[in-house]
């Protein structure tokens, strides 16, 4: 018999890394609106995380703030320990933390840039996931969702090679987890297009953003809320037979 198909997350606990801004914030809102208790992880975006916490608590949604540097194993463990001590369970993990450290072609990329790119995008996901696995497995229906980047398609245009390599590693990590953890845990990934968020306000010029819009068949860049809808879908029973999949939310920008 097919599992019940619903977006209802009532009674479930979700942990979203990097939830203070952008896709992480939108995802936290989407999962909370669906009934999940939300662990709001943040590192550098304290103001955004606290504003999100205030917004969710004002709606009487269950949530808690979880500050940590996820590249440190002890701090990653503390995040999971604190959340599960509060709720007694962990059903959904959204590995969203990360970012582009600095644009540089590989021949000009410093070892520091390379290592930091891997640490904040891949190592952080590895450490958080490792701590979360026992709790996700215990539910019998855990879900892991990894946020990639369109750079896994482009190879990192405009000096984003180190970032692209890191996100490519996260894509392979998705496949590894999908094999190792099923059937108790399903693992999938999302490849957003160019998203209208703070990330591109920092790392992309207005001219670059306009070019990205022109390259997209739908004529515009992606919104964080659209990516969050995909996160909700993968976190829910609506995606009950998806494992190791990649959802492209880019408006068709890389159609072949």
pLDDT of 41: 98
Query: CA 248 to CA 149: how far, in whole Å?
Result: 9
Q: Is 163 a catalytic residue?
A: yes
pLDDT of 215: 81
Nearest partner of 40 among 133, 7, 29, judged by Cα = 29
pLDDT of 206: 79
Nearest partner of 51 among 36, 29, 34, judged by Cα = 29
Q: Say which of 53, 135, 163, 212 is annotated catalytic.
A: 163
pLDDT of 205: 76
Q: What are the angstrom distances between the C-alpha of 240 and each of 186, 215, 237?
A: 8, 33, 5
234 phi, psi to nearest 5 deg? -70, -25
Low-confidence ranges of the chain (pLDDT < 50): none
pLDDT of 204: 66
């Amino acid at each position: 018999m097919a599992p019940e198909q619903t977006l209802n997350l009532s009674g479930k606990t979700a942990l979203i890394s990097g939830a203070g801004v952008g896709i992480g914030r939108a995802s936290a809102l989407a999962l909370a609106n669906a009934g999940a208790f939300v662990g709001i992880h943040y590192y550098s975006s304290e103001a955004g995380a606290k504003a999100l916490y205030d917004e969710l608590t004002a709606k009487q949604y269950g949530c808690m703030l979880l500050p940590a540097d996820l590249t440190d194993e002890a701090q990653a463990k503390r995040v999971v320990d604190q959340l599960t001590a509060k709720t007694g369970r962990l059903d959904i993990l959204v590995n969203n933390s990360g970012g582009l450290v600095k644009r540089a072609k590989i021949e000009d990329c410093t070892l520091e840039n390379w290592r930091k790119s891997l640490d904040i995008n891949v190592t952080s996901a590895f450490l958080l996931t490792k701590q979360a696995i026992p709790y996700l497995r215990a539910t019998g229906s855990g879900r892991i969702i990894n946020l990639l980047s369109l750079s896994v398609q482009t190879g990192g245009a405009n000096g984003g090679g180190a970032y692209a390599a890191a996100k490519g590693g996260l894509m392979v990590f998705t496949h590894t987890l999908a094999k190792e953890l099923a059937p108790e845990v399903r693992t999938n990934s999302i490849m957003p297009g160019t998203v209208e968020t703070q990330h591109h306000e920092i790392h992309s010029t207005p001219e670059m953003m306009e070019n990205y819009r022109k390259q997209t068949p739908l004529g515009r860049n992606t919104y964080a809320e659209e990516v969050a809808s995909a996160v909700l879908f993968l976190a829910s029973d609506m995606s009950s037979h998806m494992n190791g999949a990649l959802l492209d939310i880019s408006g068709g920008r890389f159609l072949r």
